Amino acid sequence: MAQSTLDSPHPPAREVLPLIHASEQVDYWLAHYWRKLKLPVGHLRYLAITEDRQEFAVWTGRRLQSMALGCYCYLPLSGSASGAIDRMVSQDNARGVPGGHVSARVSSPPHQPVLPGFGEIAESVASLASDPEYHRAPVGDFRHLIFIEPGMLAHGIEVTVAHELIHLADRVQGRPRKHRFHGNDSISVDEAAITGRDAETLRRELAEETRRREEAIRSIRPYKYFYYCPRCKREYPRVRRYARPVSCGHCFRQYNPDFLLRLRLSPDGPDVDSAFVEDNASGDSLTE
């Protein structure tokens, strides 16, 4: 899943951490699963979490895929062995090209009402600061950066927070994992165990949240171009037109002009001229 580069990362300063630019629900589940996963509270002093995609992009120097529902990023800073950003995107049913201008001046998300039953006894990240271990910060300079999609249902917010903290726990323990297949890997097993839900329920919830996210995006950025493979009939809807010839990666792994995608301007409309020079042209192979 590609992520486009913006600029060098600009994470929050240590003096303002932990930074919670998120709803009370996120704050609650963050503290709840931080305790449940037995994460060292000293690492809170390196944590920033947001529900704003543009703010997260400024922090990391990278745009999130538009379909991402959550992301954990470990960002090593000065004096670390590597200056590279280690991204772990937890919901990667992505389609299309993310876009938009990123501004360094991002306002905090609007306040959201607390869930029923939280009330004044709600856990929060601030409550964890009373732990004596809070002031024992780890050696080094880095950031734990988390994004949570704000448009999810209540259960989706809870599970996504738990999911991203599993990634953070892996990093703290020195054994970071990346996804082999969302909903069907070792991370999903841990997610089911820590949230008390069965894996199949979590897969259904992920599918529902992905569908809702897709509908929200398409209401703003509808598809205008409908590519398809004439051989396998696989469809590739797009917001923007491809700039180069594209062949079907499911029919042939590398670019192959024998498997060029055809273009329609509506799902059931007639084929239109792609305006590409197809003979011996170089291009891309697509497997979306």
pLDDT, tens digit, for every residue of 44-79? 999 999 999 999 999 999 988 888 899 999 999 975
Query: Is 7 within a domain?
Result: no
pLDDT at position 105 is 29
* Total of domains in the chain: 2
Of 72, 77, 61, 37, nearest to 177 by C-alpha is 72
pLDDT digits (tens, 9 = 90+) for 210-241: 888 888 888 888 989 999 999 999 999 998 89
The reply to whether 245 and 127 lie within a common domain is no
In a domain, 277, yes or no: yes
Label residue 203 exposed, middle or buried (CB < 10 Å: 0-12, 13-18, 19+).
middle
Question: Residue 238: beta bridge partners?
Answer: 225
Strands 284-286, 246-248: parallel, antiparallel or unpaired by DSSP?
A: parallel
238 and 132 assigned to the same domain: no
Are 87 and 161 contained in the same domain?
yes
- How confident is the model over 144-182, as pLDDT tens digits? 999 999 989 899 999 999 999 999 999 999 988 876 655
pLDDT in tens, 93-127: 322 222 222 222 233 333 334 444 444 445 889 88
Q: What is the pLDDT of residues 188-208, one digit of tens each?
A: 889 989 999 888 888 888 888
- Residue 274 within any structural domain of the chain: yes
Helices (H) and strands (E) in the chain, counts: 6, 11
Tens of pLDDT along 261-286? 999 999 888 998 755 444 444 555 55
Q: Whole domain around residue 237: which residue ranges? A: 225-286
